[in-house]
């Protein structure tokens, strides 16, 4: 019984140490998530207005730009997968990878081959473990992404998209799979098509006195789009990285809180069992003492007779 008691005390001690770690990670995630959420919110207006401006320019300039051109028979698509660099975030990365598999299945059903671009060690480990090929990967920044990383990823995707069809490494579409931050409790894996640019402002006739925007391009509409479209791609990727970072921290905080609560329950359970074991040991010792005393009394009475 004493060995069992020592074992439960050791379990209580190790669980308390684990609880301290999970509690510290929960507090760290909680302290960082506010800043990550603010960065994502501050980047949203720029990304949204840039998308509107690029879409409007592409619509009303009537320029056949490579980044807005739809291929008649697309054969290959690029998929950028954004996951975390570290674990202990619940189902955050696995949810993104499940969405990647769903998107991949849909693209294959459409007869398209897929080139994968990976952001985050979890995605890289997932593909390496399954021996699945990927074109390039970027790691080490998932919780604090920078615009330089987004620009580097954007350049790689644009270079692949601008290659001539049939050339090695060319793609006809570019998709992003990331986690959209809805709230502290809800993070939603999302797949969006980035290229070719989908026009969101159509050529609908004006209603009543509404005026359509007039654009004057200098030096030319094509050169304006040459400058705007790379910025559009990079800003969309940067916004996706910021959304993913906020989602990762929220998922990690939630996971670590659950782990801390579970550790507290385990400590209570082990403490109760240890107390029962200690009480059983004490009861056994008392029984042995009483039994010994009775045996001595019986022996002494027999000797006196």
**Domain of 141: which CATH number?**
3.40.1380.10
Residue 236 predicted with pLDDT over 50: yes
Instruction: Kindly report, residue by residue over 160-192, the tens digit of the pLDDT.
Output: 888 877 677 788 899 999 999 988 888 999 999
Q: Is residue 268 part of a domain?
A: no
- Specify whether the CB–CB gap between 36 and 238 falls below 8 A: no
| Number of domains the chain is built from | 1
List of residues 6+ apart from 16 with CB closer than 8 A: 263, 267
Q: How many angstroms separate the Cα of 207 from the Cα of each of 19, 55, 59, 211, 225?
A: 62, 20, 18, 8, 28
Instruction: Kindly report, residue by residue over 87-105, the tens digit of the pLDDT.
Output: 888 889 999 999 999 999 9
113-119, strands of its sheet edge to edge: 136-138, 113-119, 76-82, 173-181, 187-195
- Specify whether the CB–CB gap between 145 and 179 falls below 8 A: no
Q: Is residue 1 part of a domain?
A: no
In 3D, which of 230, 221, 177, 272 has the Cα closest to residue 67? 230
Q: Is 0.85 surpassed by the pTM of this model?
A: no
Q: Is residue 228 part of a domain?
A: yes
Say what the pLDDT of residue 246 is.
Answer: 92
Q: Is residue 75 part of a domain?
A: yes
Give the integer Cα–Cα distance in Å for 9 and 6. Answer: 5
Instruction: Kindly report, residue by residue over 50-81, the tens digit of the pLDDT.
Output: 777 777 776 666 666 777 777 778 888 999 99
Is residue 198 very low, low, confident or very high in pLDDT (cuts 50, 70, 90)? Answer: low
Q: Is residue 6 part of a domain?
A: no
Instruction: Kindly report, residue by residue over 108-122, the tens digit of the pLDDT.
Output: 999 999 999 999 999
Q: Is residue 181 part of a domain?
A: yes
Say what the pLDDT of residue 98 is.
Answer: 95
Q: What's the average model confidence in pLDDT over 249-262? A: 91
List of residues 6+ apart from 247 with CB closer than 8 A: 92, 179, 180, 181, 187
Q: Is residue 14 part of a domain?
A: no
Residue 40 predicted with pLDDT over 90: no
Is residue 123 very low, low, confident or very high in pLDDT (cuts 50, 70, 90)? Answer: very high
Residue 224 predicted with pLDDT over 80: no
Range of the domain at 163: 19-201+214-258
Q: Is residue 10 part of a domain?
A: no
Say what the pLDDT of residue 230 is.
Answer: 84
């Amino acid at each position: 019984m004493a060995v069992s008691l020592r074992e439960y005390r050791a379990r209580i001690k190790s669980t308390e140490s684990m609880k301290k770690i999970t509690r510290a990670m929960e507090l760290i995630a909680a302290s960082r998530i506010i800043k990550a959420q603010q960065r994502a919110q501050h980047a949203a207006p720029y990304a949204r207005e840039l998308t509107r401006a690029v879409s409007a320019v592409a619509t009303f300039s009537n320029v056949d730009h490579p980044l807005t051109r739809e291929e008649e028979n697309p054969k290959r698509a690029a998929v950028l997968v954004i996951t975390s660099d570290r674990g202990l975030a619940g189902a955050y990365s696995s949810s993104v990878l499940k969405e990647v598999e769903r998107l991949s299945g849909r693209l294959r059903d459409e007869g398209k081959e897929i080139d994968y671009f990976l952001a985050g060690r979890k995605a890289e480990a997932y593909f390496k473990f399954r021996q699945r090929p990927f074109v390039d990967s970027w790691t080490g920044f998932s919780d604090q992404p920078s615009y330089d990383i987004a620009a580097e990823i954007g350049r790689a995707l644009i270079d692949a998209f601008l290659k001539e069809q049939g050339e090695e490494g060319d793609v006809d579409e570019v998709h992003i799979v990331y986690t959209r931050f809805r709230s502290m409790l809800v993070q939603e894996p999302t797949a969006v098509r980035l290229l070719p640019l989908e026009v969101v402002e159509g050529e609908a006739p004006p209603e009543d006195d509404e005026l359509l925007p007039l654009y004057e391009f200098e030096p030319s509409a094509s050169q304006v789009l040459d400058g705007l479209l790379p910025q559009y791609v990079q800003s969309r990727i940067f916004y996706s990285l910021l959304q993913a970072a906020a989602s990762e921290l929220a998922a990690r905080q939630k996971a670590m809180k659950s782990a801390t609560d579970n550790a507290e329950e385990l400590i209570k359970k082990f403490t109760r069992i240890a107390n029962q074991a200690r009480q059983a040991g004490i009861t056994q010792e008392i029984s042995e003492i009483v039994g010994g005393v009775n045996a001595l009394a019986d022996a002494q009475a027999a000797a006196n007779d």
